[in-house]
Structure formats: C-alpha cells, structure tokens
Amino acid sequence: MDKDQFFKALAARTGYAGQEPPPPPRWEAPRELFFGEQERLEVFIRESEALGVSVSLVPHEQAAREAIGKLVASRGYTRVVTAPNAGGSIDRVDHDEFAAAQFGLCRADHAVAETGSIVLETGPHNPRCVSLLPPVAGFLVPRSKIVSRVGEVLTEVSAHRDDLTSCLNFISGPSKTADIEHNLCVGVHGPGEVHVWIIENL
C-alpha cells in the first residue's frame, strides 16, 4: 500500500492531522502499593511463594553459591548452564545443548514485589535461553534490586531507553497452563521449577 496516502487518510480520520499530540496521560499509582524496604522483601517472598517458587534468603553471594552447589549435587545434575552475569561463561548458545541442560542460572536485574516477578535485561551477559530452555531455572536476586511495582521498572528502563535490551523479560513463577479443563499444570514450555536466592548484602 502507499504509506503516504495511508497516513494522510488516517490523519483525516483522527482529526488531528499533523498535530503533535499532548503528552500521554499519566497517573500516580495509589500509595498503598509502594512498600518500605523491609516490606518489599516480605511481599516479594510471599508473592513468589504463592506462585510456587522456592525462595531462600542468603547473607552474601558466597552463601548463594554454596546453596546452589548443594542443590545441583543433591539432584545429581551434570548439565548446568550459567549466564556470564552469574559467574559462568558462554561462548555461543547451542539450542540443543541448552535444551538438554538440567538447570539454568542467571542474575536478575530487577525484581518486583507486588507480582513476585524476576526481571531480566537479557543480552551478552545473560542470553535468553538460560532462563528458557532448561526445565529448572535459578535466579540470583540482589536484595537492593527489589522494587514495589512493575511501573517502577518500566520508568527506569525507559530512562535508559537508548541502551534498551533487545529482550526484556518479566518472569513470574513457573511456566503454566490451564488449557485442559482448567487444570493448572506447570512446566508446559518454559521451566516448571523456579528457585530464587535473595542476596541480602547486595
């Protein structure tokens, strides 16, 4: 189709032809939705657990590594993928290899208390497939990165929109479906099991 023609016709229909619109409407979310530091942590844990996520609070990163080591050993995992931002190194992503992995670990860039969400700005330091292909996903969450609401993450990401990642992900609990007679089943396409280690001193 002829784009210019199309836009001319469209502008005639909206009745604002060629005019810059006023700024988009903004609204302050109710104050009750913003939590203090301690409450943010508590709400994040509560909401994550409600989604079926296993949450541990650890004093520092070393403690998280030890806990993860124990989990991997106790489950007998031999194929683990770790994102560079969680201390691993990945040269290239082979889809089949990642799909055969048993556990994927990466670091969250933000977390949202209200919805129990992990936020990943995926990229070279955290490829998309780490948190997508293995059936069990693990996330390191620095305590200071927990905010109250999704809107806060959007505002922050928007402020740095010149270096916006090609893929921003909010992940809230395990992959799930209720498509068969409304029965909740987890792990349909993404990871069916999610572990979170909140690092208190970060």
Partner 1 sequence: MAEHGHNRFEARVAKAVSDGFLSKALRRAQDTFGPKRAAVIESLPDWQGWRDHTAAVRKHTIAHLDHYLRQFIENVEARGARVYLAADAREAREYIVGLACEKGVRSIVKSKSMVTEEIHLNQALEQQGMEVVETDLGEYIIQLAKEPPSHIIAPAIHKTKEQVAEIFSALAGRKLSSQPEELTAFAREVLREKFLRADMGISGCNFGVASTGSLVLVSNEGNARLSTTLPRVHVAVMGMERLVPDLESLDPILTVLPRSATGQKATTYLTVLSGPRREGDKDGPEELHVVIVDNGRSGILGTAYQSVLQCIRCGACLNACPVYRQIGGHSYGSVYPGPIGAVLSPLLAGMEKHRALPFASSLCGACQEVCPARVPLTDLLVELRRDMVCRGMSTRRERLAFLGFGLLAKSPRLFGWALKGAYRALAPWAKNGRIERGPGPLSGWTQSRNFPQPPRESFRSWWAARKSGPEQGE
Residues 92-111 that bind partner 1 (CB under 8 A): 92-93, 95-96, 99
Window contacting partner 1 (CB under 8 A); options: 37-45, 57-65, 87-95, 103-111: 87-95
* Closest-CA residue to 77 (of 101, 97, 94): 101
Minimum distance, C-beta of residue 175 to partner 1, in the bound complex (Å) = 4
Applying CB under 8 A, among 48, 85, 117, 148 the residue interacting with partner 1 is 117
Q: Counting beta carbons within 10 angstroms of the beta carbon of residue 197, is it exposed (0 to 12), middle (13 to 18) or buried (19 or more)?
A: buried
Q: How many residues bind partner 1 (CB under 8 A)?
A: 78
Minimum distance, C-beta of residue 122 to partner 1, in the bound complex (Å) = 8
| CA atoms within a 13 Å half-sphere pointing along the CA-CB vector of 155 | 10
Applying CB under 8 A, among 42, 79, 189, 201 the residue interacting with partner 1 is 189
Of residues 50 and 66, the one with the C-beta less far from partner 1: 50
Applying CB under 8 A, among 49, 123, 143, 202 the residue interacting with partner 1 is 123
Between strands 110-112 and 103-107, the pairing is: unpaired
Q: Decide: is 39 part of the binding site for partner 1 (CB under 8 A).
A: no
**Distance in angstroms (rounded) separating the CA atoms of residues 191 and 169:** 14
Q: Decide: is 149 part of the binding site for partner 1 (CB under 8 A).
A: yes
Residues 6 or more apart whose CB falls under 8 angstroms from that of 129 comprise 81, 93, 95, 98, 104
